[in-house]
Amino acid sequence: MPQFGRLLREVGLVLLNFFLIAAHGSSNDPLPFNASTIPQQVNMMLFYDYNASLQANWTTHGVSRELSDLIAGFASTGLPGLYRIDTKVLDFSHGRVKLFPDWHELLHDAFAEALPHLNEQGCLRGFFVGDELTAQGLPFDDLVKIVDALNALLVSANVAATCRIIYYNESIVVAGWTSDIPHNLTHFSMDYYHGTATGRIGQTVWDLYKSYVLPKLGPNTKMLFVPQAFGSKVDTRVDHTFEAYVQWSMRNLTEFIQWSSLDDRIVGFNPWHLLNRPVANVSACCSAGFGCCEIGASNMPQLFETLVQLGQAIKGRLTTTIS
């Protein structure tokens, strides 16, 4: 598995693409897409982090571990959601993620709590299983157990098809999976933050999807992309200015949108991330891979405006060119 080992070693490494970004033009350059060029099958716009009032007009679903937040957000804005259940059934307290011994009962409890809201009049359209769980030590077979059990609960409760989303995101660790992506997932994504055009190791996200996602995808599972949507003002490295982060995200977002036309199973986007996050160790984040990421897209005006317009286009609200 030499290529996989190389991928893991390179995860997070953005090579010299930052210094190339400045050559692409000013921050006011329009993106080369409009509502009519977004493929017809693209119908989902999610976002890591949850703020219903901020998202309601341009995302299709909110995602939260707090069911009460999803209920309140739907009541005030009409934004339906996906209930994130990883902390309901998994123990994150020992370094490596593992199932709670009574995970099955805990999953039943979480599902029973959610069931009254899993309908077109309710706030839920399904579940988000979690993020990069096998990369954090969860055995692949245990991931499959969660997905299959959740699917069985949805089927046995006769939940409407429109409210049966089961979505999971994994890192480049998916390259090392020796089994197919769990077939009972309705949606899957892999996050990998590549350099503009060339990628970190000569491969873009689409190259990696073709190699490690498409061949393992079940017949009924759709794909999302996870564009980077973050910036930094504490990164001290040369050519890692806030503006460089903005332009890196903008250029790669353009690529993601273009790639969405290459396979009908690509149905949306789930950028990372919306809100600001604390930085515990500036030196560590400056030296680690894709860099510091304390600034969320909502505090990056140019990128945020573009993402809002993209989401509105997906929701069918725009008829003019996005720029």
Burial of 190 (0-12, 13-18, 19+ CB in 10 A): buried
Instruction: Give the orientation angle of helix 242-259 with respect to helix 301-314, to 10 degrees.
Output: 20
- CA neighbor of 234 nearest in space, from 305, 193, 273, 287: 287
pLDDT in the model for residue 33: 63
Average pLDDT over residues 301-318: 88
Q: Is the dihedral of CA 291, 297, 301, 304 positive or negative?
A: positive
pLDDT tens-digit readout, 56-115: 999 999 999 999 999 999 999 999 999 999 999 999 998 899 999 999 999 999 999 999
pLDDT tens-digit readout, 196-230: 544 455 788 999 999 999 999 999 999 999 999 99
**Mean pLDDT estimate for the chain:** 87
pLDDT in the model for residue 164: 98
As a whole number of angstroms, the distance between CA 194 and CA 252 comes to 8
* Percent of all residues in the chain with a pLDDT value above 70, rounded to a whole number: 84
- Residue keyed to tokens 């995602």: 63
Give SS3 for 243. Answer: helix
- CA neighbor of 7 nearest in space, from 170, 228, 181, 172: 172
pLDDT tens-digit readout, 117-147: 999 999 999 999 999 999 999 999 999 999 9
As a whole number of angstroms, the distance between CA 323 and CA 311 comes to 13
Q: What is the pTM of this model?
A: 0.89
* Percent of all residues in the chain with a pLDDT value above 90, rounded to a whole number: 73
